Amino acid sequence: MARLTSAQVAQFEEQGYLVVEGLLDPAADLDPIIEEYKGVLAHLARDLAAAGQIASTYDDLPFGKRLIQIYQESGKVHAQYFDFSLPQGGVTEETPMWVGPAVFRAMTNPRLLDAVESLIGPEIYSNPVQHVRIKPPEHLTPKDDQGNVQLGATPWHQDNGVVLPEADETQMLTVWFPLLDAPVEAGPLQVIPSSHRDGLRTHCPGLPGGLAIPAPLLEMDQALPIPLKRGDVLFLHRRTCHASLSNVSENIRWSFDLRYNPIGQATGRGAFPGFVARSRAHPEQELHDPEAWAELWYATRRRMAAENFDKPFNRWDGKAPVCA
């Protein structure tokens, strides 16, 4: 059991975040994910080479350098190719995503769920607001037509603010962990401690990096970087203000961004599929089959493509005075 101590739970409730060092085993829990993604990158390389967008598949390069080279040469960040979620618009039956078994096993890792149980209780639903982030160094990342880095620092936001209002009372928990060491120069998350106590703040669309809390609403002088090592895990309250730092290192910053909530509560993104990750009351409802989980996402992709799905994913229209 990897249950949290009462002191750890108290810190989470007081500060709105908690770091648990060494919760995951780097070799047993993280290396299988890395191996699986090597295959995903190889597939992407073959596709781009066949389309004439890169000159080689760069099989001889290690994962990080290979990804950087492919992104630079193709002139595009192919983040959706690796993600285990769908984009919020323009979904077709060919929209890429990766829902492999190593990803599913990470989401249902017993030690991870033990810690989650300490914070939200034993009836745990895997919320589908989830992502893998593989961020190259910003100085080596392709830019868009406006000269902005295609995949840079994530702006300040609250996870409650990037879902629909139906989830405002949902006890949504964010779980963030790196696949590789994430020192400050690699661009880990930064948080504003205790910011969860001040409720939901206005988010503005269209700011650099996307949906964001404008600077006047933030206590920027209190921002605290959270560097992590492989195996460490960061837990965030749904209303804790957080952002990522820029990756100014020479390697990729690679992380998982998962969310969980008590079973029966709204996920805030009902168009996407979640599942019962743990239930002490009804263990027969738990999902243990990675292929069944993958099919939930494939079926969602087919449905969204057929419907030309274009419903909103958040509440913000940019009309608040602070967004002007």
Q: How far apart are CA 191 and CA 16, in angstroms?
A: 9
Which pLDDT belongs to residue 22?
Answer: 98
pLDDT tens per residue across all 324 residues of the chain:
689 999 999 999 999 999 999 999 999 999 999 999 999 999 999 999 999 999 999 999 999 999 999 999 999 999 999 999 999 999 999 999 999 999 999 999 999 999 999 999 999 999 999 999 999 999 999 999 888 999 999 999 999 999 999 999 999 999 999 999 999 999 999 999 999 999 999 999 976 678 999 999 999 999 999 999 999 999 999 999 999 999 999 999 999 999 999 999 999 999 999 999 999 999 999 999 999 999 999 999 999 999 999 999 999 999 999 998
Report the SS3 class of residue 227.
coil
**pLDDT attached to residue 145:** 87
**Per-residue confidence (pLDDT) for residue 97, from 0 to 100:** 98
pLDDT at 210: 83
Give the model's pLDDT for residue 297: 98
**Domains within the chain, CATH numbers bracketed:** 10-323 (2.60.120.620)
DSSP 238-298: TT--EEE----SSS-EEEEEEEEEETTS--S-TTS--EEEEESS-GGG----HHHHHHHHH
